[in-house]
Structure 1
Amino acid sequence: MGTSRNVERRTILKAAGATAATLGLAATTGCGGNSGSGNGTVTIRYAWWGAEERAKKINQSIALFEKKYPKIKVKTDFQDYVAFWEKFQTQAAGGNPPDVFQNAVGFLRKYDKRGILLDLKSQVDAGNLSLDNFREGVTKVGEVDGKQLGIPVGSNTMALVIDKKAFRKAGVEAAPGWTWDDYFKALKTIYDKTKVPGDTGYFGIMYLYDVYLRQNGKAFFTDDGLGFEQADLTEWWTDAYNRVKAGIITSPKIVEQDKPQSSLSAGHAASEFTWDNFAVRYTAEGDSDYGLAPIPTTDGKDTGQYLASLMLSGSARTSHPKEVAQFIDFMVHDAEVGKIMGYDRGILASTEQYDAFKPTDTVAKEIAQYEEDTAKAGVLGTITPHPSGADTVEAAFLRISGDMAQGKSKVSDAVKQFFDESEAAFQA
């Protein structure tokens, strides 16, 4: 799971909603084209999104799996985020999705609604897949309406990445329990003293707004729609627009010009909200000193945070549910796989893998410590439900907020447009 600006999370409009009507046909079409052989060997198809480095690690892990299960062969397929979901929708519409695939919470209800996802509880009951030895609360991410539709491979939570040098130069500190008022005052101080905007654009990150809403007794989503009112978003975006115009927030035009680099690592901001495990990108991209800071709060206590996760799901059309379950079980529990994968997809979800991997670089150590400290603080709640269409809604939130911040639309018009597009996405 990541910020809206992360390549794995942004520009999903093409991959979401465009073929929703077609996908409705998938529930009535055939079985997956899985293969078997006369000697009892079966082949399952595994697909994921990510870069070449992730592919190398996954292929190493698969080699270990095939050594342990010589009668199961794994055929692999991977693309970048957008291409993955485009291809997946085509395969799902044709009744032939991969047997097992990487998934995220925003897609669970969408594809469960279309009969694409395998309820893995039957395989847990059969002893082919274990839900034991997971870090507390992680498996809840893959639960929908009493069904286990995904098994987490890693976890992450929202965090604030700061340019430590900029914060020190401005004489401000990101301290546990600080409030949103403290945060925005810090941004103004940073801008006044360094002429660098304080934040890259918090207002367009759906998952951050969810955290803020949770701090105030609401949530971004309910089971079947939005959990907040137009007045709530009007206030959020009005304040953001004023801060952009005041120079406290990076201009969206500069954010676009900096892509694919973050404006934080480009030196055009002093902080950025993101998923904690994405912190590695800033050290790789920039030349300052970056670190993880606490989420601002409304009351000085409740951060609204929860664990999100990338996960593995199975196809309801697979001819080999047992083998799919055995593969998932191996990939999430095997200690050697944990050592290979590291924190590529978040902090390792099972205790076997979490204990097996010992981070050696400074950034990975800080990410692990951040999640450990957050868990100890007792602030982590249960992830907000994501209704069918949540992926399209997230893309709309990012796009419309960006137009609003650039003055292409009035705040009132942007809010109305977002609610209209969200309603259409939920009904698709």
Structure 2
Amino acid sequence: MRSSINRRQFGQLLLGTAAVGLLATGCGKDTEQSADGSVTLGFAWWGNEFLNAQTNQATAAFTKANPGIKIDPRPGDWASYWDKLATVTAGKDSPDVIQMDQKYIAEYGGRGALADLSTLGVDITGIDKAALATGEYSGKQYGFSTGQNALVVMANTAVFKEAGVDLPDDLSWTWDDYTKLAAKITAAGKGKLFGASYGNNESSLIIWLGQHGEQLYTDDGQLGFKEETAAKFWDQLKLQRDQQASPPASINSEDASASLESSLFGTNRLAMGWSWTNQLASLESATGSEIKMLRAPSLKGTAKDNGMYDKPTMYWAVSAQSKHPKEAAAFVDYLLNNVDAGKILMTDRGIPTNSAVLTAITPGLKPSDATVVAFLADIKADITVAPPIPPVGASGMQDSIIRYTADVLFDKSSPEQAAKAFVTEAQGMLDSARK
């Protein structure tokens, strides 16, 4: 999924540009106090019909418990969410409470569009400290993680069985093991099955760099990797194509735009796909098969060196434009810490970071969600650090990675050429944002 938002839009966030409030139901509506003394908070999030209904249920429970606060819901979809949010923020009509993504939190927070949550009195005593750190930027708390997630290899056991291939030992497998196993499945499928997808997004690169002792960004917002390490990343993807471990470039390109239900994985034609842990239930529903989560392969064949990390599924944030920051913070506190809210929201925005909420909802978890909770607990010992959050200017990084991957797979660029161009483009994004 990608957005067409650009750096110029972000640069205009605080300029007060006249703009149509595309996410708003009425300019300034949420900044006025009603005749009955209540205040209305604009609340924006992206999601599907299920998530929207669930979120509306949680907001209804909050307003029932807090009659002095009303919620103006502003749901959207990922494809248009960020363009709309940039527009209304530039127009000084930002929602009070905003669902944020990691790659945008520094863009908005670093440009003064988000409030420092550490000053608003939200209770953080029950929140995992590592999760708190993922919402900090330049010494300020711009977001609270709605829940934790990890990028994993999802293995479709039905496809493995059809190919006559055993599942790997994910505690000890290497990239060589991964590639050979995937190629074996493709060969057994005789054109019907493919072994593995290409892990070709920003998080995949972060895992790869972590295995090399490097990171995508440094703590001070610089690029933190060597060009040759990025070239090896694209070498690995090219190797998967050449050894027929993964689909041909043309099929992969078509699959990238397919819905889950019509994708190679969703139609039981792909044995291993890279996905987030909170997608397990959706994948099992689409395939009708048992899906087993696997750790990432590593260079050395040891789980502690596989570069995996806990990523916030998304964040709760408060707009710096809000005229009701106290009430907005109370709503965020409720979403983050209230057990009743947790029982409504469950794990669809990730595994709750509040230990009391997680304990309270565990008995009611669906089997797939309970599996995710157990898996994340199992890998926790091998996760040592959280990568620095993307700095201002980095919001286009994922699109860039995907584009250069396509160039390599279609033989428009060598891995070395792609890495060189990517480093130049990535550095340009960061430099431009600092001007």
Change (3 A) 1:49 1:379: same
Match of 2:308 among 288, 305, 308: 305
Q: Give yes or no for contact 1:191–1:197 (8 Å, CA) kept in 2.
A: yes
- Which residue is equivalent to 1:405? 409
Alpha-carbon distance between aligned partners in 2 of 1:147 and 1:361, rounded to the nearest angstrom: 36
**Contact 2:32/2:39, CA 8 A, preserved across alignment:** yes
- CA drift of 1:360 comes to 4.3
Residue 19 of structure 1 aligns with an amino acid whose one-letter code is Q
SS of 2:328's equivalent? helix
Q: CA deviation at 1:344?
A: 1.1
Match of residue 281 from structure 1? 282
Alignment pair present for 1:11 and 2:14: no
Q: Which of 12, 32, 37 is the aligned partner of 1:22?
A: 12
Shift of residue 179, structure 1, vs aligned partner: 2.3
CA contact (8 A) 2:46 2:76 kept: yes
Give the alignment's TM-score, normalised by structure 2. Answer: 0.88
1:198 aligned counterpart, secondary structure: strand
Matched, 1:211 2:211: no
- Counterpart pick for 1:174 among 169, 174, 179: 169
TM alignment of 1:99-178, pairs within 5 A:
99-124=96-121, 129-168=122-161, 169-178=164-173
What residue in structure 2 maps to residue 396 of structure 1? 400
Q: TM-score, with normalisation over the residues of structure 1?
A: 0.90
Asked if the contact 2:147–2:352 (Cα under 8 Å) also holds between the matched residues in 1, the reply is: yes
The one-character-per-residue Cα deviations of 1:89-115 (angstroms, maximum 9, x if unpaired) are: 001111221111101221121112221
Instruction: Identify unmatched segments of 5+ residues in structure 2.
Output: 20-26
From the superposition, tell whether residues 359 and 413 of structure 1 become closer, same or farther in structure 2 (CA, over 3 Å): farther
Structure 2 residue corresponding to 1:255, chosen from 242, 252, 256: 252
Identity of aligned residues (%): 26
> Could you tell me whether the CA contact under 8 Å between 2:14 and 2:89 is conserved in 1?
no
1:258-407 mapped onto 2 (5 Å cutoff): 258=255, 259-261=258-260, 262-299=263-300, 300=302, 301-309=304-312, 310-357=314-361, 358-375=363-380, 377-407=381-411
Cα offsets for 1:21-59 (capped at 9, x unmatched): 323525999x96612124321111100011111111111
Q: For 2:194, what is the secondary structure of its paired residue?
A: coil
Contact kept? 1:292, 1:366, Cα under 8 Å: no
Aligned partners of 1:296, 1:349: CA distance in 2, in Å? Answer: 27
1:190 is displaced (CA, Å) by: 2.3
Write the deviation string for residues 292-312 of structure 1: whole angstroms up to 9, x where unpaired.
Answer: 112222331323222211110
Q: Is the 8 A contact 2:158 2:268 kept in 1?
A: no
Change (3 A) 1:242 1:374: closer
Deviations 1:270-289 (A, max 9, x none): 10122111122221222433
1:197 positional shift: 2.5
State how far apart, in whole Å, the 1-side matches of 2:345 and 2:384 are.
25
Partner of 2:24: none
SS at 2:315 equivalent: strand
Q: Which of residues 180, 188, 194 is equivalent to 2:183?
A: 188
Shift of 1:184: 2.1
Paired residue type of 2:305? D
RMSD: 2.3
In the TM superposition, what is the alpha-carbon distance from 1:182 to its structure 2 partner? 2.3
Please say if residues 316 and 332 of structure 2, whose CA atoms lie closer than 8 Å, have aligned partners that are also in contact. Answer: yes
Distance 1:333 1:280 in 2: 24
3-state SS, counterpart of residue 152 of structure 2: strand
Once the two structures are superposed, residues 369-400 of structure 1 have per-residue CA deviations (whole angstroms, 9 ceiling, x without a partner) of 1111112x342422333111222111111122
1:343-377 deviation line (CA, Å, top 9, x unaligned): 111112212321222344332221111111112x3
Secondary structure of the 1:48 match is strand
Kept after mapping to 1: 8 A contact 2:113/2:321: yes
Q: Secondary structure at the match of 2:400?
A: helix
Take 2:407 and 2:14, find their aligned partners in 1: how far apart are those partners? 32
Q: Distance in 2 between matches of 1:171 and 1:374?
A: 22
Task: State the 1:18 CA deviation.
Answer: 5.4
1:66 equivalent to 2:63? Answer: yes
Amino acid in structure 2 at the alignment position of 1:93: A
What SS class does the counterpart of residue 86 from structure 1 fall into?
Answer: helix
One-letter amino acid of the structure 2 residue matched with residue 302 of structure 1: D
Q: Tell me how far apart the structure 2 counterparts of residues 314 and 238 of structure 1 sit (CA, whole Å).
A: 42
Cα offset for 1:221? 1.5
